[in-house]
Every structure is written in structure tokens, then in C-alpha cells.
Homo-oligomer: A and B are copies of this chain.
Amino acid sequence: MLYFKNDYSEGAHPKVLEHLLKTNFEKLDGYGEDKYSLLAKEKIRQAAACPDAEIFFISGGTQTNQAVIATMLQRHEGVLSAVTGHVACHEAGAIEYTGHKVITLPQYEGKIKESDIAAFIETFYADESHSHMVYPGMVYISHPTEYGTLYTKDELTKISDTCKKYNIPLFLDGARLGYALAAETDLTLPNIAALTDVFYIGGTKCGALCGEAVVFTKKNAPRHFTTLTKQHGAMLAKGRLLGVQFDALFTDNLYMELSKNAIETAAMLKDTFRKKGYEFFINSPTNQIFIVLENKQMEKIKENVCISYWEKYDENHTVVRFATSWATSKEDVQKLIELL
């Protein structure tokens, strides 16, 4: 059985495991105060060219989105997100659980536009009774988006400028950030650090066993963020687990290197799909490939390949997702190509 279902189906990159093993019996302080956490933070600051960054490690993505949004927002505020944004639809109400509304904006292949942000805010403040409504308090985007698409440097700059104009922070969810950076793109990690107020570097889907690195780019971490993550249940006693992994990921450019594999194997697959005349649901430049299949054809493929149901297309067709990852082998890709 081939497995192209998602990008979190293996453990961790061997170098990450190796670093965990090598440091296993060092006695280290808890709660992220260990030396590897400090080293990892320093390496991330350098990689992001953001010397002032305040960095925290959190074990999973939903938890990270929840902790960042709930602590950056003021109580009367909600977060703006694409209607297809992860926090808007796939986190079981984790944002609302913290008492905040997710305010939805139109999406264009998973992305939002600065003009929609501006229009929402202008309309909001023009409304005489806006004090009876939820204030727009933050913009959330993901990069890559839910559909694997990417913001260009120009697009992110415009969104960033709009946020600055209206004085609300911009948060970039980088659950798959490695795959964004390794794809064909003009948007670098230092660009992202410069253009956002806070973002996170996904580990779970990009080579780690678990863990995400939250980067507050402007010395703007919420006061008492450590206590608040504990309050959210988001602080690990054994913080080294995350620090050691990110130390490995940001040594010798590993995070970028391992991410490339996902892009390269996805490119091989996309090429094949294109040649064989498959219909792309969306044109994603990263590691997720969305294909429209006839239902019978889908059933046939599923006999040999694990893939993800994405959404119903019409009565006879379904959108499915093929995902590659840092761990996808070229042999598996070759086998899949032969099957198609």
C-alpha cells in the first residue's frame, strides 16, 4: 500500500532523532529553560534575520494558533481569516473556545486580499453601532494555505502594510512553512519575519516528532506569555523535547534541506498528473496536490494508495489530495506514477 495521505505519517528526520539520542542523558532544566532551547532560538533568530525575535516552542499546531490568537487579541476583538482558514473551520472551535470570534473574509485559492481586509475595517468603523460588534483585532493567514498556495512577496507586503495602517497585528500560520520556503517563491524567511508581527515555524509536518516554533518578531510577545501558555495547557515540563528538535532542524540548514524533498517529489507527481491529463482542482506550488477524480477512478486508486478525501466536486467526481513530505521516497513516487 502506497501512502500519500498526509505529511505527518512518519516520525522525524534521522538527524532530529540522532540529536535527541545524543543529548538524552544530559540533565537539563524544564519549561524551555534548557540550553538546547536557547541555542535553537538563537539559530532561528539568525535564519530569520530577526535578532529581536522572542521565540517559544509549543507542541502542536492547533494549540499554537489558540495560544497566539487568544493572547494577542484584546477581549473585545476577533481575528480575521479566510473563510477556508484552518482556524475558521478545522480546529473544532478552538478559537471560539477561548472566547473570540473568527471573522471570515473571502478566499481566493485559499488566500485573502488586502483590499478585503481594508474594506472590512472601513465598513466596521463606519457603522455607528460598531461598539456592539466584535472589533477586528488581528489578521490570520496561513502560508502555505489550506490549498497549498503561496503568497508572493508583493502580496504579503500589501497585507502587512494594510495591517500596519489599521494598527492590527498580522499572524502567519506556518504549519508547513518549510514547504513554502522550499518551493518556487520570492518570499524568504527573513521577509516573513519582517512583514509579520508573529508567525510560527511548523515542526510536526516538516521533520520533527512534534513541535512548532512561535516567533514574535518585534519584541511584542504578550506579557506573561509563559504563564498564559501554562494556563492553556500548552507548556511542556520537558521543554527540551522541542528545543533539541529545533536545534537540529536549524543546524546546517536541515529544515530547508528536508523540505526540498517534499517539493521535488510533488513536482514529479504533478508532472505525471499533467501529462496524463488529470484535472487539477487548484494549482498548488507546494507539497499538496489536489486532483479531481471520477468516483470510480478514485475507488480504484484507493485500492493501492492511501489518499485524502478533500471535498465533493459533483455527483460523479471528488476532489482528493495527494501529499508528499520530507520523508517521501522517490521509489514510492515512481510506484505511484506507474500505477496512475
* Contact (Cβ within 8 A) B101 A96: yes
Instruction: Tell me the minimal C-beta distance from A104 to chain B in angstroms.
Output: 8
Residues of B within 8 Å of A67, CB to CB, are 233
Give 1 or 0 for each of A34-63: 1 = CB within 8 Å of chain B CB: 000000000000000000000000011111
* Contact (Cβ within 8 A) B131 A224: yes
Residues of B within 8 Å of A8, CB to CB, are 30, 237-238
* Contact (Cβ within 8 A) B204 A131: no
Residues of B within 8 Å of A63, CB to CB, are 233-234
Residues of B within 8 Å of A9, CB to CB, are 27-30
* Contact (Cβ within 8 A) B234 A133: no
Residues of B within 8 Å of A312, CB to CB, are 123, 126
Q: Given contacts A93-B101, A234-B63, are A209 and B75 in contact (CB under 8 A)?
A: no
Complex alpha-carbon distance, A309 and B132, angstroms: 14
Q: Does A91 contact B (CB under 8 A)?
A: yes
How many copies of this protein are present in the complex?
Answer: 4
* Contact (Cβ within 8 A) A76 B96: no
* Contact (Cβ within 8 A) B25 A132: no
* Contact (Cβ within 8 A) A232 B97: yes
Q: Does A167 contact B (CB under 8 A)?
A: no
A residues with a Cβ closer than 8 A to B are 3, 5-6, 8-12, 14, 17, 20-21, 23-30, 59-67, 71, 74-76, 78, 89-94, 96-102, 123, 126-129, 131-135, 204-205, 209-210, 223-224, 226-228, 230-238, 240-241, 244, 306, 309, 311-312, 327
